Amino acid sequence: MAPSLHPLVDNGITPGSSSFAGGKLRCHCASDKVEVTLSSNVAHNHACGCSKCWKPTGSLFSIVGVVPRDAVSVTANASKLSIVDKEATIQRNACKDCGVHLFGRIEKDHPFKGLDFVHVELSDEQGWQEPQFAAFVSSIIEQGTHPNQMDDVRAKFKSVGLQTYDVLSPPLMDLISTFTAQKAGHIFSNL
Ligand SMILES: N[C@@H](CCC(=O)N[C@@H](CSCO)C(=O)NCC(=O)O)C(=O)O
Ligand SMILES: [Zn+2]
Ligand SMILES: [Zn+2]
């Protein structure tokens, strides 16, 4: 049987709703769940194959999107949260008991500072933006996927309509490079 890419991808993509304005994320604990309330839908939602993003058990990919950090509030059991790696660019706040990542925040100077990374599958509401692309696809090899499986993985994403990238999508790569160029003194009008 083919390995699961992610439950939100394996059987085809369900479109989200453009009028959806957010909802609640909850960790996997049986009781005293950490709850995070989002007052916005996500953007740039994507499958991520990197080793750092939280994935459900048995899945090769995470599904992760961004929301403005002002749209994120911890509304229950905040004391169970702990930062996985304080040195990482994205400080992933995980539940100490079940390990689920509730939100990832960037504190350092970075093109994505101001955006928090979240996993919409932690919500039981419908309407979240559907995955738009697959990122860091080759990174799954670093976690043990055999290189000869990569054609199948990329073909599966293609079959559900998702483009694959080995870093991020072109719009996000352009944002990163624009930030780097501005730091170097380039001035772009009409951005
Ligand atoms: N091959 C590495 C890649 C790790 C990586 O750079 N991950 C990206 C994407 S996370 C969501 O798209 C990143 O921005 N990381 C910053 C951070 O995690 O702090 C691997 O697989 O580990
Ligand atoms: Zn938990
Ligand atoms: Zn990732």
Q: How high does pLDDT run on average in the chain?
A: 97
Between vectors from CA 85 to CA 107 and to CA 76, what angle results, nearest 5°? 75
**Residues contacting residue 21 through CB under 8 Å, at least 6 positions apart:** 39, 40, 41
For residue 50, pLDDT over 80 is answered with yes
Quick: pLDDT tens for 93-117: 999 999 999 999 999 999 999 999 9
For residue 1, pLDDT over 90 is answered with no
Catalytic site positions? 48, 50, 53
Is the pTM for the entire model greater than 0.90? Answer: yes
Rounded to an integer, the average pLDDT of 118-129 is: 98
Question: Is the CB of 143 inside a 6 Å radius of any atom of ligand 1?
Answer: no
Spacing, Cα 31 to ligand 1 middle (Å): 31
Q: Tell whether 50 is in a known binding site.
A: yes
Domain ranges (residues) in the chain: 7-139+148-183
Q: How confident is the model at residue 155 (pLDDT cuts 50, 70, 90)?
A: very high
Q: State whether ipTM is beyond 0.90.
A: yes
Quick: pLDDT tens for 22-34: 999 999 999 999 9
Rounded to an integer, the average pLDDT of 139-150 is: 98
Return the CATH fold of 7-139+148-183: glutathione-dependent formaldehyde- activating enzyme (gfa) (3.90.1590)
Question: Is the CB of 100 inside a 6 Å radius of any atom of ligand 1?
Answer: no
pLDDT at 51: 98
Atom of ligand 1 nearest to the CA of 49: 21
pLDDT at 43: 97
Question: Is the CB of 60 inside a 6 Å radius of any atom of ligand 1?
Answer: no
Spacing, Cα 185 to ligand 1 middle (Å): 27
Q: How confident is the model at residue 2 (pLDDT cuts 50, 70, 90)?
A: confident
